Structure 1
Amino acid sequence: MNKTITFGIPCYNSAEYMDHCISSILEGSGYAEDVEIVVVDDGSTKDDTLAKAQGWQERYPTIVKAVHQENGGHGIAVLKGLENAEGTYYKVVDSDDWVDADALRQLLDKLRAFIAYDVRVDLVITNYVYEHVEDDTQKVVDYGFAVPKNKVITWDQIGHFNLSQNLLMHSLCYRTDVLRDGGVPMPAHTFYVDNIYAYVPLPRCKTIYYLPVDLYRYFIGRGDQSVNEQVMVSRIDQQLRITRVMMHAYHLYEDVPSARLRSYMMGYFTLMMAVSSVFSKLSDKPDAKANLKGLWDELKGYDRRMYLRVRYGLVGIYSNLPKAGGEKATIIIYRIAQRLVKFN
C-alpha cells in the first residue's frame, strides 16, 4: 500500500519519552495503514532506545520501521528518516514532542484528498503549540493574516510574518520529493539544524497550503533541552555554524524570484544573525565575540546587499548596539522578547 505520509522520529537516548510520541501518531491516525513512522535510533548509548523502536516495529510491522545508525546528530537522523521514507509527504516529530489526534486526522484527510485528486501541494503548514511544563501553560503559534487559510497558493500570495511566526520545522509537512530534490545540507553532530530544514527547501516549494489546526505539541522545560538558554549559549559555535549554512544557501536577491518569499527568508535569516549576536554576547567563551565579528565580516563579503539589509534593519541594530552600555541594552531587549514570546 502506498503511504500518504512518513513521520520521521529522530531518537537519541529517548527511551524515557519516545513511546508518547509514537503512540500519539498511531492513535491519532487510527492505526491507518497509509501512515508510516520511521523511528531512527541515532546511536543511543545510555538506554534501550533501539530495543524500544524495534518493539514498536514488531507490534506494528506495516506502520513502524525501526532504523539504526551510528551517531551522527539530529540532522543526520532526520535525513536517515527521509532516506527510508515511503510516504508522499514527510514530517519530522522530535521524540520528546507529540501530535494532537484531532488535528492529525484533519491533516491526513487533506493529504489524502490532494493525492486522490492529483493536486500538487509541495508544503503543508500547520500550527504548533509550545507546551511549557514548568508552569503548565501553552502558547499557540499560528499563521493567521500571514498565510491564506484552506487554499492552495503560491508564495506570491503570502502576507507579512511577524517575528514570532517563522515557519519552524514543527509547522512544516513537505512533499518527500521536494526534500530529496536538491537535498538538505545538514551538518553532522550539530544542534539547531531544524533552521536549515525550515529554510533551504522553501524556494523549491511552488505550491503551499495552510491548514489552521494545532497539530504539533512542542515540549519546553527539560534542563538539557537544546533550546534551554544556557545550553544555547554554551553551543554558540554550533549556532554560528548553522547560520553560515543558511547564509551560503542563497544570494537571496538573486536566487529567490518571489519578492514575498525573499522578504520572509530575509526576515528569518536576520533573526538567525540576531540570535548569533545575542548569544555571543551572553557567552563567556574568550573567542565568542571574535567569532561573531568573523560571521558578520563573512556575510559582508558574501553578499553586501544582504549584509546591509540584515545589519542596519531594526533587528540588526538593536541586537548589535555598540560598546558595553549597548551590549547591556541588547541583552535587556532580548529578555523582554523572551518573556513575551516564551520561545525557550
Structure 2
Amino acid sequence: MKRSSFIYALFFLLLPLLSLSQIEAPVLLKSSEVLNKTRRDFVVITEAALASISLIALDQLWYQEYARSKFHTINDNQEWFQMDKMGHAFTAYQLGRFGAETLNWSGVSKKNQLLYGGTLGFGFLTAVEVLDGFSKEWGFSWGDIAANAAGTGLYIGQELLWNEQRVALKFSFHQTKYASQRPDKLGNGLLEEVLKDYNGQTYWLSINLHAFFKDSQIPKWFNIALGYGAEGMLTGVSGLDDSFMSNQDRMAQYYLSFDVNLKKIKTNSAFLKSVFSIFNSIKIPFPALEFNKERCVFHLFYN
C-alpha cells in the first residue's frame, strides 16, 4: 500500500470520528452561540488524541516495514500526473473544514476556528511528511507540502473572503481495469482500489452558482463541477509502464459536470445537517463531459 493512499484511509476513518461530537443527541447537534468550554475541550482533546494515535500507528505499523534514513527530500512532482498532489490538497481541505466546523459547534470564535481548526489538515499532513523524510523508501516532498497548503488555503481563503465555501474540493471514484494488472500497487478489491488506484480517482472543484449570483433564481443547492483525473498509469512516471506490458496511453482528463451542495438542502433536522456535512465531501454522480488529448466523451453517469 502506498503511503499517500494510507493518508486517504486515515482521512475517511477520521471523518466520522471528528463528527461524533455532533451526533450524540438531538440537543447537542446545534452549534453553540457562545463559547462552550466543555465542548471545546472535548473537540481539542479528541482531535489531538486521534492525530497522535494515527501518527504513532503510521510510525510503528507502516514505516517499520521500510529502512530508516537521514532526513532527505525528494522531487516527485512529475509522478502520477500529480494525482497524489490532488489527494493531498483534498485531504487538507476536508480535514480543515471539519476541524473548523467542530470548533464552530463548540462556540469558538471565527478567528480561532480558522487558526486552529482550518489548519488541522495542513498540520497533520506536514507531520506525516516529516516521517516520510526519515524513510529511505520515501522522502520529504515540497510538492506535497505545497498541495497541503493549497487545500488549506482554499478553505481558509474563502472563509476570510466570503465567510462561506462557494467552491468545495470533492472526490469521486470508479473502478478501472488497471488495478488487476498491478494489484500490489493499485489495489486488490474495491476498498483498496478506492485508496490506491489513481486511474479511478477524480477530484472536483464544485462551484455553487447561487453564492455568486445571490439575487438569481438558481437553486441554492445547484453546483457546477470541474473535475481532474488521469488514466493509463501503472507506475508513477512515463516509460516504466512498458515493463508491465501496458498498451494504454497515459493521459490527463478534464471534466465538466453538475453537482449538489448537500449543505444547502433545507431541513430542520440537525442530524441530517450533520450527515449532509459529512457526505458533502463526495461528488454526486451526474452526466459529465470528459476532455482529453484524444477526444471529447459524454458520460451519461459518471462517478
Q: So what's the TM-score if we normalise by structure 2?
A: 0.29
Q: So what's the TM-score if we normalise by structure 1?
A: 0.26
Question: Could you say which structure has the higher helix fraction?
Answer: 2
